[in-house]
Amino acid sequence: MHDLTLTAAVLLCVAAALAGWVDAVVGGGGLLQVPALLIAFPQLAPAYALGTNKAVGVVGTSAAAVTYARRAAIDVRLAARLGSVAALAAVAGAFFAAGVNSEVLRPVIMVLLLAVAAFVVLKPQFGQRPGGAVTRQRVLAAVVVVGAGIGFYDGLLGPGTGTFLVIGLVAVLSMDMVTASATAKVVNVGTNLGALAMFTYQGTVLWALAPFMAVFNLAGASVGARMALKRGSGFVRAVLLVVVTVLVGKLALDQWGT
């Protein structure tokens, strides 16, 4: 493993714990974890940061999924079905990732995220309570949009996957924010496993470091899931808006920063 200083170790511990918390509430923990890995190891190739992030994140996301499944009224069968489709789609996305021009995709993602933020702000009732019955047509739409579409995106590029999952589940299946966040965790486990399989095959995971960070990610995720369940949809909605704002800023910096 690369040389790890005490300062870098502390940075990675804090980043992993915060990333686990954010991921458990609404997704987007990679915004903290990937930059922390690149700061701790300046010579590290981005692929290793992405691969290690997946290896760490899947632990916290899995723990959050279990916590939600025990305490939130989620359709585990539906979530598992979406997660299975998302895992396969993430593998496909990771396969095509090398040929993607991220400079072209980033502005598109920023526009989508800004539209999401504007919609959530202008529609304060969005995701506050569950909607109508879940029909077969809605489930099929969720499989296509949430499972295949967002799963493919996670493998292809990745930033904001958890956030997109929450928004997609609220929009397509009319879930409330807490149920959507809970369901998103199960789906996100699938996308993480799919992408991790490809990163492992490519040999771009720091396996000596990942378990160390995973312990802190797990702790953060456990706290985050419990807070979301306790505080409800309004809390999840507020965190989502913060994460979207940070994500747009990060993408803008990547696109136009020096």
Its pTM stands at 0.80
CA distance 181 to 238: 13
pLDDT at 87: 92
pLDDT at 241: 84
Q: Which residue has the tokens 């760490």?
A: 56
CA distance 116 to 164: 9
Q: For residue range 59-79, what is the model confidence (pLDDT) as tens digits?
A: 999 999 888 888 877 888 888
Q: For residue range 9-54, what is the model confidence (pLDDT) as tens digits?
A: 888 999 999 999 988 888 878 878 888 888 888 888 878 888 898 8
CA distance 40 to 91: 28
The residues spanned by each domain of the chain are: 6-256
CA distance 210 to 50: 11
CA distance 232 to 252: 31
pLDDT at 85: 94
Long-range contacts of 104-107 (CB under 8 A, 24+ apart): 105/157, 106/251, 106/254, 106/255, 107/255
Length of the chain counted residue by residue: 258
10 Å CB burial of residue 45 (0-12, 13-18, 19+) is: exposed
What are the structure tokens assigned to 57, written together?
């994140």
Q: Which residues of the chain have pLDDT under 50?
A: none
Task: Output the average pLDDT for the chain.
Answer: 84
